[in-house]
Chain A
Amino acid sequence: MFKKLFGSLTGDNKQENQNYEAQTSNNNYEDDNNYQETEYDPKTLHGTHYDVEDFDNEVAARAEAWIADERANGENLDEKDIQNIYFNYRRAVYTEWNNCDSDQMIRFEHANSLKYSGIQTSGFVKVDDNNPFLEPVHGVDLRTYTAMCLKISAGIDYLEVCKAMGFEPIIWEELNTIWPQRMGEDTSFTVTTLFGQYYAENVTVPQLENLKAEISEEGAANLERIRTDRYFYEELAGARQAAYEYGIDGAQWILDNFGINLADFQSVAMQWMTEQNQNWNSEDIMEFTNYQQEKQKEYAAKFAAEQGGNIADDVNF
C-alpha cells in the first residue's frame, strides 16, 4: 500500500497526502541501511508515505469483514459495537503502517478525535466557521465570555465586569445561562473544549484589560512557578486533593497558603492537560501521576496530624 520511506532523499519533507504507488510488501523495515524515521503530517499525524484515503479504506475493509463474520454467526451488533470495531482496527492499521509505539498512536488519536469519534480533544480543537453552537450570544462570542468568566472566578465583582463590558447585569445573566446550555447541547464537545482552551490561554479582551484581580507578591511568584514547574503544580494539585479529603475547601486553602486564586489555578491545570495531550508520553504521565499521589499522601499526613490523626491509626497488622 505504500512506497519505501524516502524522508529527505526526495527533498519533499513537507508533502501532504502524496499519491504514491501502491506496494503490498511490508518488508521496508528490514532494509536497515536505508531505514528512515517515519515522517508525520503535522496536522493529521498520519505517516506521509501513504494516502489518508487508503488508510481509511483499509480500516473499513477489515472492519466490515469482521462485522460480516459476526453477523453470519448470529451476533447482534449495535452502533456502539460497530464504532468499537472500527476504533480497534484503526489502531491496528496505524501501528502497522507506521511501525510506531503506543504513545505515537495515542497522539494520532487525539489529533483526529473529531474526525473519527465525533468528539473534540483539548489541544486539537477543530473549529468550523459556521458552527451554530458558536454563534455569539447578545453579541458576545465564546472567547469574550470566557474572558469574563476568568475575571469573575479570579474574584472581581461581576458588576464591575459588566460595567467594563458596557452592558447591564441582565445581559451577563443571560450569557451565563445560554453559553452553559450550548455546552450541554453540543455532543461534539466543541464549545466545552474550546472554552477550556481559552481558559488555559487566560484570554482577555481590551475592555477587561484594566480589571486586575488582587494578587500578593508571593502569590504572583507561586503562580509563575506552577506555570513553569510541572512538579510544583502537581504538588499543589495533590495538596488540594488531600485538603478535600480532610473536609477543607481546597480552593480556599490554596488561596490562603499560596496566594493563587481558583481561576489562575484552573487555567494552569488546563494548560498542562492540553500540553500533555499534544505531546502524549506515557512515561511522563506515569511519573507525574505518581508524584502527585506521593505529594497527596504527604499533605494528607499533615492534615491528619492537625485532626489528631486518622481514626484507624491504631489498627495494625
Chain B
Amino acid sequence: MEEKKVNSFLDKLKANAKKQSNYGGELEITQAQMNVRDCPNCGAGRAKQDGVTHCAYCGFEFITVQLTDGVYIKKEDNSI
C-alpha cells in the first residue's frame, strides 16, 4: 500500500515533467555550418582585408556598430 503511493507519485512526477513544455521552447540541436553573406546591394562577397562592417565595393553597411576587440572579433575587422 505504502509502496504503491510512492511509486504512483513518482510516475505522475515523471509524466508531468516530460509532458510540460519548458520555458523558451524546445532546443534545436544543430550541426556546425559554414555560410557566406553576400552584399544584398551589389552581390559582392566580403574579403578579409576589407573588414566585415561595410561592402568594399558599394559601401553597404553590414554592421552598423563599431567593432572592438572581442572574443574572436578584433577591431581591425572594422572596414575603413
- Give A contacts to B, CB under 8 Å: 135-140, 155, 165-168, 170-171, 174, 177-178, 246-249, 251-253, 255, 262, 307-308, 311, 314
Contacts and interface: CB of A to CB of B under 8 A. Distances in A.
B66 A138 contact: yes
Interface in B11-31: 12-13, 16-17, 20-24
User: Chain A: interface secondary structure?
Assistant: loop
A178 B22 contact: no
Given A167-B62, A248-B16, A252-B23, 12 more contacts: A138-B73, A139-B66, A140-B65, A165-B65, A166-B65, A174-B73, A246-B13, A247-B16, A249-B20, A249-B21, A308-B9, A308-B12
Contact of A139 (B16, B17, B67, B71): B67
B59 to A, nearest CB: 15
B22 A249 contact: yes
Interface of B: 5-6, 8-9, 12-13, 16-17, 20-24, 37, 61-68, 70-73
Contact of A262 (B16, B23, B66, B73): B23
Contacts of A171: 63, 65, 67, 73
Best-surrounded residue of A139, A177, A255, A262 (most CB of chain B within 10 A)? A139
A252 B63 contact: no
Contacts of B73: 138, 170-171, 174
A308 B13 CA distance: 11
Contacts of B63: 166-168, 171
A226 to B, nearest CB: 17
Given A168-B37, A170-B73, A308 B64 contact: no
B70 A138 contact: yes
A167 B65 contact: yes
A177 B71 contact: yes
